[in-house]
Amino acid sequence: MMLSDEPYRWAEAISNRRDYIEDQIRSGSPVVGVGYEDGVLLLTLGQGQQKLFEVYDRIGLAAIGHSTDIEKLRQAAIDMAHSIGFNYSEDDVTLRQIVYFGLGPVMKAGFDDVVRSPFLVRMLLTELDSQDGAQVFYTVDYDGAFYRQEGWAVMGGFPEADQLMGRELSDLDTTSLSIAEAIGGALRAWAIGRWAGKHQEISTDMEELEQKASEVDIESAIKDELGDLEVEAVVLERSQSGKNKYRNLDADEVAPALAPFQAD
């Protein structure tokens, strides 16, 4: 093999890894983050496999992908947060640090090393009342690329699904939503991402894809999914007493938001 061929072989290997990862996780259950009047909500639907986690007192994590890889990265985020909190102070633990200096570099290193298995994971993290006071979310992709968003964030099995899900949330005023309204909006975004992920072949032309998505009966789709899947939802809640703001929502709290989708 000529030395000059090496960059092209590496680029081809990276492209193949990208296709492989997206093929592996595209049908997974999306995760959605939405701000509301008392904090931030993380939501997904599943069949018992936990996908929403606490990282630190004011930081939550959601992920789509392989359960073992999710657990490795979850533990890495927790270890980094507690190390910073122990060596410096609790106030020094920020989501930005965890993403910029922890998860992002780790996932990029795993993706770039073509002789090792990559992380089959896409992640969404949120921090309640970050240092600038915003409803902050970060998405971290399987290749280590990360993006900051305010108000809401989504993560499906592939980028086109993310765009479709985002359209369902783009008009929400996340500073004034009730928890029921936030759950309802998150469910609608989740349903579109789920619909997209069920198609093995889907157009990359966003105009065509958006047209097809607009024809989906979201209420019926959610009703059908609720027959097989359970809602998993957590909040980071300002009104929660104490330092820890992370809380699982129970069935009674979620039920009012589900009622419109369960009615005959």
- Read off the pLDDT of residues 56-65 as tens digits, 9 standing for 90 and up: 999 999 999 9
Half-sphere exposure of 70 (CA within 13 A, CB side): 19
Q: In this predicted structure, what is the pLDDT of residue 138?
A: 97
- Read off the pLDDT of residues 74-90 as tens digits, 9 standing for 90 and up: 999 999 999 999 888 88
Chain position carrying tokens 């600038």: 132
| In the predicted structure, residue 16 carries a pLDDT above the cut 60 | yes
Angstrom distance (rounded) from CA 55 to CA 125: 9
- Read off the pLDDT of residues 235-255 as tens digits, 9 standing for 90 and up: 999 998 888 999 999 999 999
Give residue 234's domain range. 30-257
| In the predicted structure, residue 131 carries a pLDDT above the cut 70 | no
Residue 243 belongs to domain with CATH number: 3.60.20.10
Q: In sequence order, what DSSP letters do the residues of 46-89 get, joined into one string?
A: ESS---EEEEETTEEEEEEE-HHHHHHHHHHHHHHHHHHHHHS-
Tokens of 195: 């619909």
Q: In this predicted structure, what is the pLDDT of residue 3?
A: 42
* 213 is a domain residue: yes
* 1 is a domain residue: no
Q: In this predicted structure, what is the pLDDT of residue 5?
A: 58
* 67 is a domain residue: yes
Q: What is the pTM of this model?
A: 0.92
| In the predicted structure, residue 157 carries a pLDDT above the cut 50 | yes
User: Using the 8-state DSSP alphabet, how is residue 146 labeled?
Assistant: E
Q: What is the mean pLDDT of residues 22-44?
A: 95
